[in-house]
Amino acid sequence: MSEDTRSELYAELAAVGPYGTHPGHALITMVEPHPGHEYAYNRWYEDDHYYAGAMAMPWMYAGRRWVATRDLQLLRYPEKSAIAQPVTAGCYLSTYWITAGRYDDHMRWTVAINKRLNRDARVYHDRTHVLTAFQDHEATVYRDGAAGPRDIHALDHPYAGLVLQVVEVDAPEQRAPLLEWLRSRHLPKRLAGSPAAMVTVFRPTPLPGDRMTYVKQVEGVDTRLTLLWFLQADPRECWETHFAGLDAAVAESGLGRVELTAPFIPTVPGTDTYVDRLR
């Protein structure tokens, strides 16, 4: 007799609740496989976890993996980062979009499925979560206005690179002025004439109390903003001209400080491309 999967509930659930395309939420996770486990980790994530632990879940509708080879890791700053110690830690980055208004529904599922995966020995433990957080969307700033892909397309469009930037303030009430400055002044100026087509801005949310114990609770929930710069060029080709001074620009504003600026390139799904260039 086949297992009862409660199929009748799917029609009931599909008939209610938000179902737009806006990326109201994201999962952004930067992970460091332990030395000697790079190939095994990559195959586990590519062949199993990217799907069973992410894309197969309700309301998680787009995803992409990124990698920082050693030369990309060495471009990161600041050297003393509140995010990564050392700043080169976290050579893989995964980014996922979640439908606006479906955060709670998705979280119920993701906690349950990851407990099941762990119980069934389908979680790879020889890795460290350097930065893993669900995030709420705050803004998207475009270089070309209405032309070109929207943020809903960002994880499917063949961008050549991505820059992860984390900006922090000292007190929660300082975050709104920082966000407004980023959205209306800093990002439009930086995007103009640059190889970055858009920047999405998110704020981290706390992980649920019943999360998996190998993922640490999110820091900076009230004081951080997470920026994703989507590039039409390899970040190595434009780093000095467009990205090397982002920390200085934020510091000069007096509104916050950059705790991490880290470039990545997309992985090649289903392959071990770049795994031999991580160390």
Q: Of the candidates 170, 202, 186, which has an alpha carbon nearest to the alpha carbon of residue 253?
A: 186
Determine the pLDDT at residue 1: 47
**Predicted confidence band at 207 (pLDDT cuts at 50, 70, 90)?**
confident
Query: Global pTM?
Result: 0.95
pLDDT score at 148: 86
Summarize the confidence of residues 132-142 as an average pLDDT: 97
Q: How confident is residue 218, by pLDDT bands cut at 50, 70 and 90? A: confident
4 against 191, higher pLDDT:
191
Q: DSSP secondary-structure letter at 110?
A: H
Strands (E), 104-160: 127-142
**pLDDT of amino acid 208:** 72
Cα–Cα distance measured from residue 143 to residue 160, given in angstroms and rounded to the nearest whole number = 16
Mean pLDDT of the residues in the chain = 95
CB-based contact 68:262 (threshold 8 Å): yes
